[in-house]
Structure 1
Amino acid sequence: MTAHEPDLRHHGDAEVRAGGRGLVDLAVNVRTGTPPTWLRERLAATLGDLAAYPDQGAARAAVAARHGRPVEEVLLTSGAAEAFVLLARVLTARHIVVVHPQFTEPEAALRDAGHRVHRVLLSPEDGFRLGAVPEEADLVVLGNPTNPTSVLHPAEAVAALARPGRTLVVDEAFMDTVPGERESLAPLRDLPGRVVVLRSLTKTWGLAGLRIGYVLGPAPLIAALGAAQPLWPVSTPALVAAEVCSGPPALAEAEQAAAELALRRAYLVKCLAAFPALRVYGEPAASFVLVRLPGAAAVRERLREHGFAVRRGDTFPGLGEDWLRIAVRDEETTDRFLNALEAVLSST
C-alpha cells in the first residue's frame, strides 16, 4: 500500500474499536438486536454436539432448496470472506476486473494470490450506475447491492455482463436487506459463462462472530472450490445457522426486517437532506447510506467525541476523504446521531 493507495484491509469494525467502549456503532452493517432469541436457542442447543465432526448435509440441502438449485451448486463457507479467498486461489484469468467502489476484500484476496487486478470505477455523478466493463475481462467481480454505495443494480444490467469464457462473481451479501431480493441472480442458472453468487448470513442475523456464508455456482466450479477448502471448514453451530436461516419462517422474518429497514433508511435519507453541505449519490437500497461531506475525515473524528462511530470512505477505491458510510438504525438512534452531526458541523 502506498500513500495514494487505499487500505484494502480496513473494515468497519476498526472504526468501533478505535473509539474505545461505548460508541454507538454506525460503522458496521450488522442488524441490531440480533441474533434473535430463537436463533440463539438453536445455536446453544448445538453445544452438546461439538464432539462430533460437522456434517454439512442438512445445511447444504436447505440452502439449495431456498434458491431452487441442486445441492451440487452450493458451497458453504466460513463467511463470504472465505469465498473470496477460495475464488482467488482456484480461478485462473488473464484479465481481472473489479468494479469499484465496492467491498475491498475481493481485490485484496486476488492480489494476495498473485493476480493482477484492473479497476473499473463507477461515477458518483452518475449515481454509481453500472457501466461498461472491458470486453476482454474474463473475470469480473462486483457487489449488488454494493457496499459502500448502497446502490442496487438492476438484475438485467448485472446479467448482461455474463459472457461465454467469463466468470462473473456477484457479491450479494446484502441482498437479503432488499425486500423481495428483487434484483438477485441467485435463482438464475442459464446465463452464459460461469456466474457465481456469494451470500452472507452474518448481516441480517447478527452472526459476524460465527462466520457463515455460501457460494452458488456451476457444479464443477463448486467442486473445485470445495477441494481447496480445509476439512470441515464450517462449524456445527454455523451449519445449523445456515439450515434454519434458510427455512420459510426465517425468510419471512428477514423479509419483514427488510421492509422495516427500508422505512428507517428513507427516514435517514430525508433527514440528511436537511444538511446543505452533505449529499447522497444514487438511491440507497441496503442497510447503509454513503454520503459526501467536505472535511468528512475531521467530522468522523469529532463524531467519536459525541459517541458515534461511522465508516470512513477513503479506504474504498474510487472514493476519498470526503466520504462517510452510515449504517441505518432505528429512528431514535438516527435522531441522536443527527443531533450529534448538527453539533459537529455547526462548530466547524
Structure 2
Amino acid sequence: MRTESAERAKAVPVPPDAGARRRSPELRHDLRHHGDAELRDAGADLVDLAVNVRAGTPPAWLRERIATSLGSLAAYPDGRAARRAVAARHGLPEECVLLTAGAAEAFVLLARALPVAADDAERPVVVHPQFTEPEAALRDAGHEVRRVVLSERDGFRLDPGLVPEGARAVVVGNPTNPTSVLHPAPVLRALARPGRTLVVDEAFVDAVPGERESLAARVTELPGTTVVLRSLTKTWGLAGLRVGYVLSDPVTVARLERHQPLWPVSSPALVAAEACCAPAALAEAERAARQTAADRAYLTGRLAEFGTLRRATPDPRASFVLVRHPDGAVLRERLRAEGIAVRRGDTFPGLDGRWLRMAVRDRATTDRLVRALARLGVR
C-alpha cells in the first residue's frame, strides 16, 4: 500500500533525446556536472570540500604497489588475481565479479544491457536525488527514464511504495550521494522481485563503519536480479586510476562483460583492486570509516551553530553532508572567494540552488570552513 510519502514523491517520465532535454523543464539539471568541476580553472589553491575523495590518499603503501606494477606494462592486463581477491573479500564465487574502469563504466554497461521497456509501466526508475550518471547512461542508451524524487520532508528516505510496481529496473544509491542517507537493507530488499533488476550503487558504503546495510553478500539470494556497484575511488583516492567492480549473479555478470571492450581495466588498476581487498587494507578502511564518522559528527556540530544552514537529514552516514541555505548559490560563490570549494546542489534532480554538498574533512579544515562562514555573516 502506498504511504503518505508516496503522495509527495514525483514519478517523472524522462525522454532520452537531446531535443527533449532542452525543451523539458524537468530536465534542467546538468546530469554531467560533478564535484571536480568546482575545482577546475580555479585560479587559486582551493580547500576542496567539493570532491568526496578521502584526503591524504592514496596511502604510501598503495602508491608503491601501483608504482611497482609499471614494470609490467608491456604485457596485456590479466584480471584473474584481482577478480579472485574481490570475490574472496565479499564471500562470493569469482563468476559473480566483474571488474570495471570505475563504477561509471558499470552504469554504461548496465544501460546497454538492459532491454528497452516495452511500455511506460516498465520504464527504468532512478531514485533521486542521487548520483546522476546512472540516469545519463540510461538516456544515452535510448531508455526513457522515470524519476522517483524523494522529499526533504521525509529526510530523503526511501519508501519502497514510491517505486512503480511494473518498473523493470530500479537504481538507488546507498548511502546516497548527495543526501548522505543510508537506507536500511530491508527497505532495499523490498524493491527486489522477479523480472526486475535492482541496482544499488554502494560507492560510499566503505565509508560506513562495518559497511552496514550493504547488499553485496546477498546479490545471488534476492528475487529477480540484484546488481551492486562498488568503487575504490573514494576511500583509496584512486579517481585518476579508474577502478571499480560489479557484484551480481553469474548470468548477469557474463551479460555485462559482453558489452565491455577487451582489457577494460589497466594493469595498475588491477593491482590496486587486489591490494585494497587484502585483510590489512580492509582493516585500514574500517579505521578510516570510523574516523570519518567522528569527523562528520564534528562537522555537523559546528554547522549547527548557523541557524540558516539546514541539514538534509538529521543522521548523515556518508563522507559528506548536504545542507540548505536560503542563498545557497550566492554562498557557494562567496565561499569560493574565501578559498573554499563546495559542491553545488542544483544539478541533482529534486534539489535547487539552495543546496550545497560538503565533504567531511579533518577538524582543522572544518574550523576553517566555520571561520569563513562567520566572516561572511552567515547566521
Give yes or no for TM over 0.5. Answer: yes
Contact 1:264/1:329 (<8 A) preserved: yes
Amino acid at match of 1:177: A
Contact 1:93/1:139 (<8 A) preserved: no
Provide the residue aligned with 1:129 in structure 2: 157
Provide the residue aligned with 1:206 in structure 2: 237
Provide the residue aligned with 2:377 in structure 1: 345
| 1:215 to 2:243 alignment | no
How far is 1:192 from its partner?
0.3
1:164-195 deviation per Cα after TM superposition (whole angstroms, max 9, x unaligned)? 10000000000000000010000002100000
Provide the residue aligned with 1:73 in structure 2: 96
Provide the residue aligned with 1:146 in structure 2: 176
SS in 2 for 1:187: helix
Provide the residue aligned with 1:158 in structure 2: 188
Q: Map 1:7-86 onto structure 2 (within 5 A).
A: 7-86=30-109
- Equivalents in 2 of 1:158, 1:273: separation in Å? 30
Q: Which runs of 5+ in 1 are unaligned?
A: none
| 1:101 to 2:133 alignment | no
Amino acid at match of 2:356: L
Aligned Cα root-mean-square deviation (Å): 1.1
Aligned with 2:261 (options 230, 247, 254): 230
Higher mean C-alpha deviation, range 207-216 or range 278-287: 278-287
How far is 1:93 from its partner?
4.4
Residue identity (%): 69
Amino acid at match of 2:38: E
Contact 1:100/1:122 (<8 A) preserved: yes
| 1:196 to 2:227 alignment | yes
1:132-157 deviation per Cα after TM superposition (whole angstroms, max 9, x unaligned)? 21101110000000000010000110
Kindly report structure 1 stretches of 4+ aligned residues shifted beyond 3 Å: 1-4
Contact 1:83/1:215 (<8 A) preserved: yes
Provide the residue aligned with 2:362 in structure 1: 330
How far is 1:20 from its partner?
2.7
- Equivalents in 2 of 1:30, 1:223: separation in Å? 30
Contact 2:44/2:339 (<8 A) preserved: no
Provide the residue aligned with 1:305 in structure 2: 337
Provide the residue aligned with 2:120 in structure 1: none
- Equivalents in 2 of 1:51, 1:21: separation in Å? 39
* Residues 208, 166 of structure 1: alpha-carbon distance in 2 compared, 3 angstrom cutoff: same
> Please, what TM-score do these two structures have when normalized by structure 2?
0.90
Contact 1:167/1:196 (<8 A) preserved: yes
Contact 2:116/2:142 (<8 A) preserved: no
Q: Which runs of 5+ in 2 are unaligned?
A: 1-20, 118-122
Amino acid at match of 2:294: L
How far is 1:33 from its partner?
0.4
SS in 1 for 2:39: helix
Provide the residue aligned with 2:17 in structure 1: none
Provide the residue aligned with 1:293 in structure 2: 325
> Please, what TM-score do these two structures have when normalized by structure 1?
0.98
Amino acid at match of 1:97: V
Provide the residue aligned with 2:288 in structure 1: 257
Contact 1:19/1:309 (<8 A) preserved: no
- Equivalents in 2 of 1:287, 1:2: separation in Å? 33
- Equivalents in 2 of 1:2, 1:259: separation in Å? 44
Contact 1:125/1:281 (<8 A) preserved: no
How far is 1:274 from its partner?
0.9
Provide the residue aligned with 2:18 in structure 1: none
